[in-house]
């Protein structure tokens, strides 16, 4: 069932042991949940090579999430998580399924989960991972019982916050690294960065954009080629036009899908002003747009009209490689960076 794992190194074991223990893996390198992309095959591949990955529940029908969990377990006997979106229509069903399936780890994403939801997940035996984009949110998630945090900076792809990774390191990592495992995400594509983040106190890292270019990833060839050709500055984030329609910023390669989203916001705002739609329904329409647009790009390969969600690290992604090679390069780069610093300090 399991492929030959990529091995950690003695130097890295000293730095990311907390992440290893928490995730139950040799490499606390997380493949973030990506809608349409983080399927059982990709998740199992990462896990079998010694890393950690999350199934992307997104807006999928509850029965499909249950099937995805079962399918992943057929492909790997290693730990993996389910990433559930707090503002998704089937969120409560997804949480119930994760609890019933006795998931080892549950990731709450998209918004702030309720205290009782965190407690329910923990009561099922799962370790809970929450996102924190500010120190106040970190305090709140810890008080709710979160077992670990992910700091995802605005450099990341897909739905993002508004604060850069560099600031989050200072706001949260340096303050809370001794209290619980903290994983850092956003703009990471190079092993040296992994090593330096762990030297700062990170228990591990989370990547997304880099893993899209894995041979085992189901993303369309056109989607992958768009990543290879892109420069970092081409991965831009969407604006919020009005506080009357709060939207979570999305970072993607700039194309027609980004323009269409602007037009959608204007249309939804008009309906809100006219009283033809509730704010909740408008926000659901926003999420529905991105899920459909991403399918057009990632699954159908229409890179002109479909969303190309990518982090600014896309400029560092040069070619399609086997997952084993990607993970090995991250470990080797991290180990080399740590050893260089150690020599410099002697």
CA distance 40 to 37: 9
* Angle, helix 323-345 to helix 10-23, in steps of 10 degrees: 120
pLDDT computed for residue 3 by the predictor = 67
pTM, to two decimals:
0.94
CA dist., res. 167 & res. 164, Å (int): 5
The CATH label, of 3.40.50.880, 3.40.120.10, 3.20.20.70, 3.40.50.300, for the domain at 10-219+316-340 is 3.20.20.70
Q: Report residue 256 CA to chain centroid gap.
A: 24
Q: What pLDDT score does 118 carry?
A: 98
Compute the distance between CA of residue 40 and CA of residue 45 in angstroms, rounded to an integer.
8
Give the mean pLDDT of the chain. Answer: 95
Other beta carbons within 10 Å of 165: 20
Q: What percentage of the chain has pLDDT greater than the value 90? A: 87
Task: Strands of 74-203 (E only): list them.
Answer: 81-85, 105-109, 127-131, 148-152, 158-159, 182-185
Q: How far apart are CA 184 and CA 172, in angstroms?
A: 10
Tokens of 260: 């269409």
Q: Where are the beta strands (DSSP E) in 88-188?
A: 105-109, 127-131, 148-152, 158-159, 182-185
Instruction: Please give the Cα distance from 226 to 28 (Å, whole number).
Output: 28
pLDDT digits (tens, 9 = 90+) for 54-78: 999 988 999 999 999 999 999 999 9
Q: What is the pLDDT of residue 324?
A: 97
What is the C-alpha to C-alpha distance for residues 59 and 91, in angstroms, rounded to an integer?
Answer: 8
DSSP state at residue 156: S
For residue 1, pLDDT over 70 is answered with no
Say how far apart CA 141 and CA 145 lie, in whole Å: 6
Name the band, by pLDDT with cuts 50, 70 and 90, for residue 88: confident
Lowest mean pLDDT among 142-146, 167-171, 282-286, 303-307: 282-286
3-state secondary structure at position 286: helix
Domain boundaries, the chain: 10-219+316-340, 221-299
Confidence of residue 193 (pLDDT cuts 50, 70, 90): very high
Q: How far is CA 278 from CA 19, 244, 285, 331, in A?
A: 42, 10, 11, 48
pLDDT tens, position by position, 275-303? 999 988 898 888 889 989 999 999 999 99
Is there a contact between 257 and 337 (Cβ–Cβ < 8 Å)? no
- Positions of E strands within 125-215: 127-131, 148-152, 158-159, 182-185, 204-207
CB atoms under 10 Å from CB of 195, counted, come to 28
- Among residues 244, 239, 237, which one has the least CA distance to residue 275? 244
Q: Give the model's pLDDT for residue 255.
A: 95
Distance, in Å, from the CA atom of 171 to the CA atom of 135, rounded to the nearest integer, reads 6
**Which residue's structure tokens are 């995805």?**
68
Query: Which pLDDT does position 146 carry in this prediction?
Result: 98
In angstroms, the first-to-last Cα distance of the chain is 44
Distances (CA, A) of 106 to 63, 84, 168: 17, 8, 22
Q: How many CB atoms lie within 10 A of CB 189?
A: 24
Q: Which helix (H) or strand (E) holds 274?
A: helix 256-274
Please state, in angstroms and rounded to a whole number, the distance separating the CA atoms of residues 82 and 180: 20
């Amino acid at each position: 069932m399991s492929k030959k794992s990529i091995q950690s190194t003695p130097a890295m074991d000293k730095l990311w042991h907390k992440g290893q223990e928490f995730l139950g893996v040799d490499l606390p390198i997380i493949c973030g949940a990506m809608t349409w992309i983080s399927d059982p095959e990709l998740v199992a591949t990462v896990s079998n090579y010694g890393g950690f990955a999350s199934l992307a529940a997104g807006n999928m029908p509850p029965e499909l999430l249950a099937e995805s969990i079962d399918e992943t377990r057929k492909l790997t006997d290693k730990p993996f998580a389910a990433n559930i979106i707090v503002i998704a229509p089937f969120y409560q069903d997804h949480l119930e399924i994760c609890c019933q399936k006795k998931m080892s780890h549950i990731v709450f994403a998209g918004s702030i989960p309720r205290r009782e939801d965190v407690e329910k997940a923990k009561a099922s035996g799962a370790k809970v991972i929450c996102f924190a984009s500010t120190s106040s949110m970190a305090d709140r998630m810890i008080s709710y019982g979160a077992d670990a945090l992910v700091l995802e900076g605005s450099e990341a792809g897909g739905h993002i916050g508004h604060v850069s990774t560099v600031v989050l390191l200072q706001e949260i990592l340096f303050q809370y690294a001794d209290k619980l495992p903290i994983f850092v995400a956003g703009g990471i594509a190079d092993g040296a960065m992994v090593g330096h983040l762990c030297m700062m106190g990170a228990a591990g890292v989370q990547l997304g954009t880099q893993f899209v270019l894995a041979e085992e990833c189901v993303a369309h060839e056109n989607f992958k080629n768009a990543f290879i050709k892109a420069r970092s500055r081409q991965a831009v984030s969407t604006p919020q036009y009005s506080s009357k329609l709060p939207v979570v910023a999305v970072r993607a390669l700039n194309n027609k899908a980004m323009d269409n989203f602007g037009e959608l916001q204007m249309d939804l705002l008009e309906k809100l002003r006219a009283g033809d739609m509730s704010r909740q329904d408008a926000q659901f329409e926003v999420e529905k747009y991105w899920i459909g647009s991403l399918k057009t790009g990632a699954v159908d390969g229409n890179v002109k009209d479909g969303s190309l969600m990518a982090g600014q690290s896309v400029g560092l992604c040069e070619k399609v490689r086997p997952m084993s090679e990607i993970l090995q390069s991250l470990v080797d780069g991290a180990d080399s960076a740590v050893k260089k610093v150690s020599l410099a300090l002697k």
